Amino acid sequence: MTHIDVTSDALADSLQAVANGQPLIQALTNEVTMNDVANLILHWDALPVMADSPGDAGEMADLASALLLNTGQVPREKVDAMHEAGAQANETELPVVLDPVGVGSTPTRKSVVKDLLSAIDFSIIKGNYGEISALAGVDAEVRGVESVGDYDEIEHAARSLADSSDAVVVASGVEDIVAGSDGVYRLTAGHEMLGEVVGTGCMLGATVASFAGAVEDDHVAALHGTLAFGLAGERAAEMTYSGPGSYRTNFEDAVYGFTAENPTDTDLESRVERLN
């Protein structure tokens, strides 16, 4: 079991890989956050494409560098397109990221996500504490698309899901957990204002997919992407803002300015704790 490098130089290497590769990220996401997802992909120096209808979805997956499937809305046509794109991505060994938005809140969402997990091999699964716990078979409370309640054993739930799905698992919350074959890591980065903006969870999924499209190791991509996202949230809070609207603008600007030449002035090793 190797240890993932979390130095500023290592994060800069991942940022540079995205900038150099300009990976094409195909996102099948919900209409509420589609523009946010597209912008975050672009601001990380990747290329967004929102091909989400049957026929076009599979064809685009043949051209993409990574695929993001977000279950924020689950009309039948979009679900069919997810299966089509996922099958094509697996055929060409493309990284596939699942963002199981709202799983655990309704039987329909649970069924949709269960079918996706049965049919598609996912590289990374990214969800909030409640969503990851629900997928791991642990008691969870999800209202709509929000995680509520206490999750004292979230690192164990994330590791359990990683083992059962053979995917890297990102559980986002006050502290983020990234679990995979190279161990379980707890990340301390971010700002409370991220929780005041609708769609930041979807934006994290877009970030992880952008890194996965250019960084060869899925665990490194998930960890570095999640860490960069949190640090950008902190940078946004250092700019002047008067509420969630102006903070959201700051956050997009912070992501745009988060480059390999200026990855961080923070001791990253103090932000990442390896749990096992």
Q: What are the DSSP E strand ranges found in 132-182?
A: 141-143, 146-148, 168-172, 176-180
Q: DSSP code of 33?
A: T
Burial class for 49, CB neighbours closer than 10 Å (0-12, 13-18, 19+): middle
Q: With CA atoms as reference, report the closest residue to 233 among 188, 269, 268, 267.
A: 188
The two structure tokens encoding residue 177:
């957990």
State yes or no: 172 annotated in a binding site.
Answer: yes
| Distance of alpha carbon 46 from alpha carbon 271, whole angstroms | 26
Q: Which strand (E) or helix (H) includes residue 69?
A: strand 66-70
114 marked as binding residue: no
| 199 carries a ligand binding annotation | yes
3-state helix, strand, coil in the chain (%, to 5): 50, 15, 35
Structure tokens at 94: 């493309």
Q: DSSP state, 106?
A: B
Are residues 145 and 134 in contact, defined by beta-carbon separation less than 8 angstroms? no
Interatomic CA distance for residues 57 and 50, integer angstroms: 9
Residue numbering of the annotated binding site for ATP: 126, 172
Residue numbering of the annotated binding site for substrate: 50, 199
Residue numbering of the annotated binding site: 50, 126, 172, 199
